[in-house]
């Protein structure tokens, strides 16, 4: 008769030594993308499976709400979000959409603040934005 509480894994660890970037989206007035490829939002969610938890990394175009990149992985390391972002960049290239000056918005998680991830974004001319 007792209700069991389900374990919910944490997907965000913002206690790290990496640089945190300012929020470019939740400003006054709030940033609204004018077209595809101007703003992407990245996040990680968990999925419960018979074998345990899996983590789904998503990159969504904020204008069209189209998922431009995704990766399902067993761990919360930066590899999942990196693969999702590479897929997003390839999707934009396939449709001829420039990513120069795009804003990449995410939480302050260690995956998005890691050197590997931020170096990828900066090398593509993408501006980094993190929630406050």
| pTM metric for this prediction | 0.87
pLDDT for res 1: 62
**Residue 15 domain-assigned (yes or no):** no
* Total tally of structural domains belonging to the chain: 1
The rounded average pLDDT for each run of 10 residues, N- to C-terminus, in the chain (132 residues) is 64 72 92 96 93 94 98 94 98 96 94 95 96 88
Structural domain containing residue 60: 39-130
pLDDT for res 69: 98
**Residue 13 domain-assigned (yes or no):** no
pLDDT, tens digit, for every residue of 7-45? 666 656 566 778 889 999 998 899 999 999 999 999 999
**Residue 75 domain-assigned (yes or no):** yes
Provide the total of helices (H) and of strands (E) in the chain, helices listed first.
Answer: 3, 5
Asked if 127 and 31 touch (Cβ cutoff 8 Å), the reply is no
User: 115-123 and 79-94 helices cross at what angle (nearest 10)?
Assistant: 10
**Residue 21 domain-assigned (yes or no):** no
Q: CA dihedral in degrees (43, 31, 67, 55; nearest 10)?
A: 0
Nearest to 12 by CA among 103, 112, 86, 104: 112
CATH code, domain with 45: 3.30.420.10
pLDDT for res 15: 67
**Residue 31 domain-assigned (yes or no):** no
């Amino acid at each position: 008769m007792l209700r069991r509480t389900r374990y919910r894994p944490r997907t965000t660890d913002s206690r790290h030594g990496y640089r945190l970037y300012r929020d470019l989206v939740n400003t006054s007035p709030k940033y609204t993308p004018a077209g595809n490829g101007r703003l992407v939002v990245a996040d990680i969610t968990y999925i419960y499976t018979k074998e345990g938890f899996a983590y789904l990394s998503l990159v969504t175009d904020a204008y069209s709400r189209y998922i431009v990149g995704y990766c399902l992985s067993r761990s919360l390391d930066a590899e999942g979000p990196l693969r999702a972002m590479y897929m997003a960049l390839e999707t934009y290239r396939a449709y001829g959409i420039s990513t120069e000056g795009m804003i990449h918005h995410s939480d302050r998680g260690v995956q998005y603040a890691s050197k590997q991830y931020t170096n990828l974004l900066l090398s593509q001319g993408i501006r980094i934005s993190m929630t406050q």
